[in-house]
Amino acid sequence: MSNFDFDSIPHIAEVSACHGAYAEENVNEKNLMSFDERQKESKKVLPSIEEAIRRVGLKDGMTISFHHHFRNGDYVINMVMDVIAKMGFKGLTLAASSLTDCHWPLIEHIKNGVIKHIETSGLRGKLGDAVSHGLMDFPVIFRSHGGRAAAIESGELHIDVAFLGAPSCDPYGNANGYNRDSEEGSCCGSLGYAKLDALYADKCIIITDHLVSFPNTPFGIPESQVDYVVKVDNIGDPNGIMSGATRYTKNPKELLIAQYATNAIVASGYFKDNFSMQMGSGGASLAVARYLREKMIEQDIKCRFALGGITGQIVQMHEEGLVKKILDVQSFDLIAANSVKNNRFHQQIDASYYASYLNKGAAVNQLDFVILSALEVDTDFNVNVMTGSDGVIRGAVGGHPDTAAGASMTVVVCPLLRGRIPTICSKVNTVCTPGKTVDVVVTDQGIAVNPARPELYKRFVEAGLPVTTIEKLRDRAERIAGTPESIKYGDKIVGVLMYRDNTVLDVIREVID
C-alpha cells in the first residue's frame, strides 16, 4: 500500500457528501452531448498533418517513427516528411520499422538537412543505393524487429513522435490494420510493428483514410495511447500494400529447395504433434508450407502455432484445423489480413511480444523451427540478407536474427548460385545473423548442417537426404562460377548492424564504383 494515510481513517473528519473533482461548483461539468455528437466533436481529430505536428510540439533534432506495414504502397512517410520539411524542421532522426523502394524521396530531405539520421530494419532501391554511396554523414543504424523493440523498451531508441498510418481509426484513436465497417480501402492486417511505437512514443498521431465510428474494436492500437487522429484521402496504394494472395512458385529450383527443406524438417525430430513454426513469404519458403501441409495430413500431425509474417497459406492451414493458433506481427497478403479480422485465434502481436530480447518472454523463443532466406551464407554459417553482390544495401534484417536465435532449428533456404554469383561463400559481405544461430542450410545442390548440430546431420543422413558440408557447397559454387572479385569499399562506414541485444554485429562501408 503506497502513501495510504487518509488521515488514518476512523471518521476522516466526518466526511461531507460531495468529493473530488466535482467538489466545487461549475468545475468539470459533465459532457451532456449524445454519443453521436461527441464523436463529431472529438478533440483528437485534427484537420491536417501540419496541425497535428504543431500540437505535439515537434522540435528540431527529435526522433520520429513510422511503421512499414504498407510496404511498397506506403504514402504516409513521404506525406509526413514533406509537411515536416515545409514547416522547416531540421536534424530529425527518422526511426522506421523498415523502409522500402517507395521511400526514395527521403533522399532530398536528407540532402536538405531535414533528416540527420535514420534507424530502420532495411533499405532498398534508390535510397539504399544513395546511402551505400555515402549520402549520410552519420551511418544508418540497422536493427532487427526484435532488436528495435528491445531498443525502444530500454530507451536506447526513444521515440518523440510516432506517425502511424492505419486503414481504420475512430475519432478517439482506436486504430486497426483493416476496416470492419466496409470492405473498401486499404488493408494491412496486423499492426504489429506500429503497436510498440504507439505504446512507447511520447506523442502518437494516427493517420487514416477511414474514420469510423467509436469503438473501432477489436483494435490494434488503443485510444489510450493516441494523441491525435488525422484523416487523409489515401494512406497508401492498396496494390502496393499487399497482393490478393501470395502465389505458390512454379520455379522448379525453388520447389526442389522446398522439397529438401521439408524432408529435412520431417527428419529433424522436431516434426511431431503440437510443433511450432515460422515460415517466410519467399518462393521456396511458401512451397515448404505446401509440402509440409501434405506431410502433416499424411502423418496426422498438427501445428500448435505459426508465428511471424503470416501468409494465406498459413491461414488456409489454420482454417483446415492443421495450425491451431496464429501469432501475427505482420500480415503478408490479403488472405492473412482478412484472417486477422475474421479468425478468433489469429492474434495480432507487437514486435516486442514477437521477438524482443529484453521483455519477459518473446514468441520466437517458442519456435521449433524457422525457414529463412539468404542473399549469402558463408562457411561459418553467417547469413547476409542486407547487401547485394555489389556491396549495395538492398535488403532488410527483419526478424532474421531474432527467429534464428530463438528457434530450436534454423533452416536457411537459398539457391547455390544466383546467376553467376555464388550464394555460399567464404565470407559474407555483411553479417546479419551470426552463424552460431544457423543450423541447416538447404540449397538446390545439397544440405549443409552446422557442425554444432551433429544429431541433425545424423538424422538427415539416415533419412537419405543429400547432406554435405558447407565448404563443399562453396567449392561446388565456385567451381561453376569462379571466385568473385572482392567489392571495392571505401573506409567510411555508412551502416551499422546492431544485433538483437543492441551490440554492434557488423558495419557496412561506402561502396566505391
Partner 1 sequence: MSRLRRSMLFVPGNNPGMIRDAHIYGSDSIMFDLEDSVAITEKDTARFLVYNALTHLRYGKKELVVRINDLSSGLGIADLEAIVRAQPDVIRLPKTDSAKDVIECEREIERIEREAGIPVGKTGMMAAIESANGVLNAREIAFASKRLIGIALGAEDYVTDLKTTRSPEGIELMFARGMIVNAAKAAGIMALDTVYSDVNNEEGFINEATMIKKMGFDGKSVINPRQIAPLHAVFTPSEKDLNKARAVMEAIAEANARGSGVASLKGKMIDKPVVARAQYLLEMAERAKTMTVEDI
Site residues (vs partner 1, CB under 8 A):
250, 252-253, 255-256, 259, 417, 419, 444-447, 464, 466-468, 472, 479-480
Decide: 246 and 215 in contact? Cβ < 8 Å.
no
- Beta-strand ranges (E) seen in 8-82 are 45-46, 63-66
Q: How far is the CB of 60 from partner 1 (least distance, A)?
A: 52
Q: How far apart are CA 461 and CA 65, in angstroms?
A: 48
Residue 250 or 344 with smaller CB distance to partner 1: 250
CB atoms inside a 10 Å sphere around CB 417: 19
Q: How far is the CB of 263 from partner 1 (least distance, A)?
A: 10
Q: How far is the CB of 117 from partner 1 (least distance, A)?
A: 42
Would you say how long the chain is, in residues?
A: 513
Element (H, E) at 421: strand 421-422
Kind of pairing between the strands at 376-378 and 383-384:
antiparallel
Residue 213 or 299 with smaller CB distance to partner 1: 299
Q: Which residues of 325-359 are buried (b: 16+ CB within 10 A; e: fewer)?
A: bbbbbbbbbbbbbbbbbebeebbbbbbbbbbbbbe
Q: How far is the CB of 438 from partner 1 (least distance, A)?
A: 19
Residue 30 or 250 with smaller CB distance to partner 1: 250
221 Cα distance to chain centroid: 16
Q: How far apart are CA 80 and CA 67, in angstroms?
A: 13
Residue 49 or 412 with smaller CB distance to partner 1: 412
Residue 325 or 418 with smaller CB distance to partner 1: 418
Cβ neighbours of residue 252 under 8 Å, at least 6 residues apart?
none
Residue 10 or 252 with smaller CB distance to partner 1: 252
Q: How far is the CB of 444 from partner 1 (least distance, A)?
A: 5
Nearest in space to 384 (alpha carbons), one of 423, 410, 442, 422? 423
Q: How far is the CB of 466 from partner 1 (least distance, A)?
A: 4
Residue 72 or 259 with smaller CB distance to partner 1: 259
Residue 247 or 436 with smaller CB distance to partner 1: 247
Place of cell 505482420: 330
Residue 58 or 449 with smaller CB distance to partner 1: 449
Q: How far is the CB of 267 from partner 1 (least distance, A)?
A: 12
Residue 361 or 464 with smaller CB distance to partner 1: 464
- Beta-strand ranges (E) seen in 56-170 are 63-66, 92-96, 115-120, 122-123, 140-142, 161-166, 168-169
DSSP structure string for 306-331: EEEEE-HHHHHHHHTTSEEEEEEEEE
Residue 185 or 466 with smaller CB distance to partner 1: 466
427 HSE (CA, 13 A, CB side): 6
Longest dimension (CA), the chain: 93
Q: How far apart are CA 377 and CA 385, in angstroms?
A: 9
Kind of pairing between the strands at 168-169 and 175-176:
antiparallel
Q: How far is the CB of 252 from partner 1 (least distance, A)?
A: 4
Cβ neighbours of residue 11 under 8 Å, at least 6 residues apart?
none
Residue 57 or 482 with smaller CB distance to partner 1: 482
Nearest in space to 303 (alpha carbons), one of 362, 368, 245, 364? 368
Q: How far is the CB of 286 from partner 1 (least distance, A)?
A: 16
Element (H, E) at 127: helix 125-132
Environment class of 294 (CB within 10 Å of its CB; exposed 0-12, middle 13-18, buried 19+): exposed
Decide: 262 and 254 in contact? Cβ < 8 Å.
no
Q: How far is the CB of 253 from partner 1 (least distance, A)?
A: 6
Q: How far is the CB of 388 from partner 1 (least distance, A)?
A: 19
Q: How far is the CB of 421 from partner 1 (least distance, A)?
A: 12
Q: How far apart are CA 69 and CA 106, in angstroms?
A: 18
